[in-house]
Amino acid sequence: MIKTIDIKSTKTAEVYRYLSNAVTPRPIAFVSTIDKSGNKNLSPFSFFNVFSVNPPILVFSPVRRVRNNTSKDTLDNIKEVNECVVSLVSEEIAQQVSLSSCDFEANVNEFEKAGFTELKSELIRPSRVKESPVNFECKVNDVIELGKEGGAGSLVLCEVLKIHIDEKVIDGKDELDPLKLNLVSRYGKNWYGKTTKESLYEIVKPISRIGMGIDQLPDHIRQSNILTGNELAILASIEKTPIKKDFPLRDNKNTSEKHILAKAFLQEEKFEEAWQILL
């Protein structure tokens, strides 16, 4: 059975619940802004991502409140002072970030309310967050309003001017280490995700080559009742079927037994052995 949601006949609050529960996990932008009077604001947004590298562009979207169709202080501030700092949210500060999301009055400084330390930015007026592992100093190039009713978002296009990274989250290869970053992600309702070794795995992308594709796998592999679509995709990420070599484990085994062994090899990332048992 499939549950179908007709947007036109569904209340906005309910549409929000379906979207925010389904499109997950989402990274969180912790955005620092300032208005023309000098009032500071700090607020999280999970409608957020990176959309360009040259120029470097981050985009987040404050959504108009559904209950009373008012805009967020962050959006109001950006329209007055077109600058912001986008900080990332680690597990160590997630509860403080959640506290900062309360609907405080516009003149309330969330740095103080949520116990964060301000760091002076180098190129813009809004402050950085000392406790965040990564801070992006940005100028706001554009704000694209997607609607006027409650629940409508506004795309804030932020050009990154400077990136500040806590050296504690950098590995020996001068790369950001996802486990050291320990970022949290947003799910629906009150759910958040955390970064653990068990939750991470690598998929080697076939960028430097063109994979043969699942449609080009030999029929006895492609039509397997044992190998999953993911496992077939791993096999199909090479350019052509490998040359069959002497492989004693292949001897005296039927197709099902070979596929079961191939599945085990793939789970151990022994890709050549997986192919050989199947040939």
- pLDDT at site 54: 97
pTM summary value: 0.86
pLDDT at 53 over 80: yes
Q: How far apart are CA 101 and CA 110, in angstroms?
A: 9
Percentage of the residues of the chain whose pLDDT score is greater than 90 = 85
The CA-atom distances, in angstroms, between 193 and each of 21, 90, 165 are 13, 11, 22
pLDDT score recorded for residue 202 = 83
What is the predicted pLDDT for the residue at 208? 66
Instruction: Tell me how far the alpha carbon of residue 277 is from its chain's centroid.
Output: 37
Range list for CATH 2.30.110.10 in the chain: 7-199
Which of 269, 264, 69, 75 shows the shortest CA–CA distance to 149?
Answer: 69
The 10s digit of each residue's pLDDT in 125-167 is 999 999 999 999 999 999 999 999 998 999 999 999 999 999 9
Place of tokens 């409650």: 150
Q: Is the pLDDT of residue 206 over 70?
A: no
For the chain, the first-to-last Cα distance in angstroms comes to 39
Q: How far is CA 269 from CA 136, 172, 203, 264, in A?
A: 37, 24, 10, 9
Give every CB contact of residue 70 below 8 A, 6+ residues apart in sequence. 64
Cα separation of 87 and 67, whole Å? 28
Look at residue 217 in the predicted model and tell me its pLDDT: 94
Question: Comparing 71 with 90, which gets the higher pLDDT?
Answer: 90
Overall average pLDDT of the 178-204 stretch:
92
Query: What's the mean pLDDT in 4-16?
Result: 93
**pLDDT at residue number 264:** 95
- Give yes or no for residue 103 having a pLDDT over 90: no
- Token pair of 212 as six digits: 């043969």
pLDDT tens digits, residue range 229-275? Answer: 999 999 999 889 999 999 988 998 999 999 999 999 999 989 999 99
Residue 197 pLDDT > 80, yes or no? yes
Which of the four pLDDT bands, split at 50, 70 and 90, describes residue 181? very high
Q: Is 76 exposed, middle or buried (0-12, 13-18, 19+ CB in 10 A)?
A: middle
For residue 219, pLDDT over 70 is answered with: yes
pLDDT over 90 (residue 106): no
pLDDT of residue 20: 93
Tell me the pLDDT of the chain averaged across its residues: 94
CATH code assigned to 7-199: 2.30.110.10
Which residue in 33, 41, 189, 193 sits closest to 114, CA to CA? 41
